[in-house]
A and B are shown apart, each in its own frame.
Chain A
Amino acid sequence: MADAAIARESTTAPMLAVRGLNAWYGESHILHGVDFDVARGEVVTLLGRNGAGKTTTLKSIMGIVPRREGSIVFEGRETIRMSSNRIAQSGIAWCPEERGIFASLDVEENLMLPPVVGEGGLPVAQIFELFPNLRERLHSPGTKLSGGEQQMLAIGRILRTGARLLLLDEPTEGLAPVIVQQIGRTIAKLKERGFTILLVEQNFRFAATVADRHYVMEHGRIIDMIPNEALGASMGKLHDYLGV
């Protein structure tokens, strides 16, 4: 591709374009043609009931679901056939729903574990500014932290790597309101720093405070897209979608 073409693409094309994504766990067909885009610098959420396929969508982008078809283009490159380590190397980082903190590593080792994949990652000092608790617990085993601290560690460790797109799977799940607010402020700061974020949420009140746009998932498909400005007007619809 010529340089001019790359330049044109990087200004007009979305950072992440998902088209006709299908995914399976063994025999069960979970995603049935998922389509959506994320533009550079955006914070976009995937909303939907339990079991709608939000986690599976993130895992498919990350290359973890063994059988997936369709197209996932990240920064102009097709990644649907790549192994998950190559996808990570291309600049996508994942914060799993179960957090994935390692018990046999202390907090510092957990924090420093993900390899650097590009320039522009946050220096560790800035990660400690976002999450001061981590600095005080550096030498505790990772899983001895509280749930909130483990979540901070799970987010903090992927900020160092220089990944430009962050996939966050329900980072507020089961956490106290103060910590939910802290994570909300963190997401806002990360957006200011130029990170692009795809956020899975069940809590749309929280989602409304941080996101630019919302996609609604149901039964393995995207069924609606709501810009954050239109969220107030779409409350009735959302209650139907989410059953809340």
Chain B
Amino acid sequence: MTEIFGIPTQALAGQLLIGLINGAFYAMLSLGLAVIFGLLNIINFTHGAQYMMGAFAAWLLLSKLGIGYWWSLLIAPVALGAFGVLIERTMLSRLYKLDHLYGLLLTFGLALVLQGLFQNEYGSSGQPYRLPQEFAGAFDLGFMMLPRYRAWVVVASLIVCLTTWYVIERTKLGSYLRAATENPTVVQAFGVNVPRMITLTYGFGVGLAALAGVMAAPIYQVSPQMGANLIIVVFAVVVIGGMGSIGGAILTGFGLGVIEGLTKVFYPEASNTVIFVIMVIVLLIRPAGLFGKER
């Protein structure tokens, strides 16, 4: 058996893969947070609950209606995106003129309410989500076995992240978004319906969280706390990457997933804290984050 730095290649590759998978979820979730923060100036603390609801939507669709994984990938993000639109219209939109803190309090409170509702209904033990048949088995890479579903998660989340990046940074629609992030008044005075754009952007960010939730369902247990546990790490990722940078959110998400995985191999005791240690260091050296701009 071959070794790198005295570690079996297989163990190293295995942890790298787990790191990439976690990184895929960090990236998708911090991307949604970055898009929402950019335009709404709100730190969406409900993001973890919305991710959890995406996973529950997939589980409910399958267990109650017999609707499978592929349809869930479409239905859950659209349904939760619509739920996001409702939240923005009825609640968030009243807060834009007030201090940031109100948006944070509202979304945090909402997260607790939603999580509590699911806990009441489904208890706190996790529900397993049956892996779709197409994904049974693994690719033999020679030095390790790569489960098909995990390969799919990494590739699909890369596609989602890069497509989002492309739309925001390279298209006409994206130029409206970037411009409205800088100066919504001028963009609206050009004739763009900025309030509607803000609503749809929030819906999109929530949809992205739900999509991540559906993709997570076959890997992790579908449970009411799944979002709360993950979102703390994701906020650290966002702080490290810098609020509001789209490319930064993606790179940092994958990068930190991998670093976390490697830490599990080389110094397992630190694997749960390494991201927070990096966060503290980054905050001390570059308070705006690695890719963030000072505001």
Contacts and interface: CB of A to CB of B under 8 A. Distances in A.
Interface of A: 62-64, 83-89, 93-94, 96, 100, 102-105, 109, 112-115, 117, 158, 161
A115 B185 contact: no
Which residue of B176, B179, B187, B191 has the most chain A CB atoms within 10 A of its CB atom? Answer: B191
Given A109-B175, A113-B175, A113-B176, A102 B191 contact: no
B189 interface: yes
Contacts of A96: 186, 189
Contacts of B172: 112
A85 B187 CA distance: 8
B254 to A, nearest CB: 23
Contacts, number: 57
Contact of A105 (B179, B188, B189, B191): B179
Contacts of A88: 188-191
A85 B191 contact: yes
Given A100-B183, A112-B172, A105 B193 contact: no
Interface residues of B, number: 18
A109 B179 CA distance: 10
B191 A117 contact: yes
Nearest to B38: A104
22 contacts: A84-B185, A84-B188, A85-B189, A85-B190, A85-B192, A85-B194, A86-B191, A88-B188, A88-B189, A89-B191, A94-B189, A96-B189, A102-B178, A102-B183, A104-B178, A104-B182, A105-B178, A113-B175, A113-B179, A113-B187, A115-B190, A115-B192
A184 to B, nearest CB: 25
Given A104-B178, A105-B178, A113-B175, A64 B189 contact: yes
B183 A114 contact: no
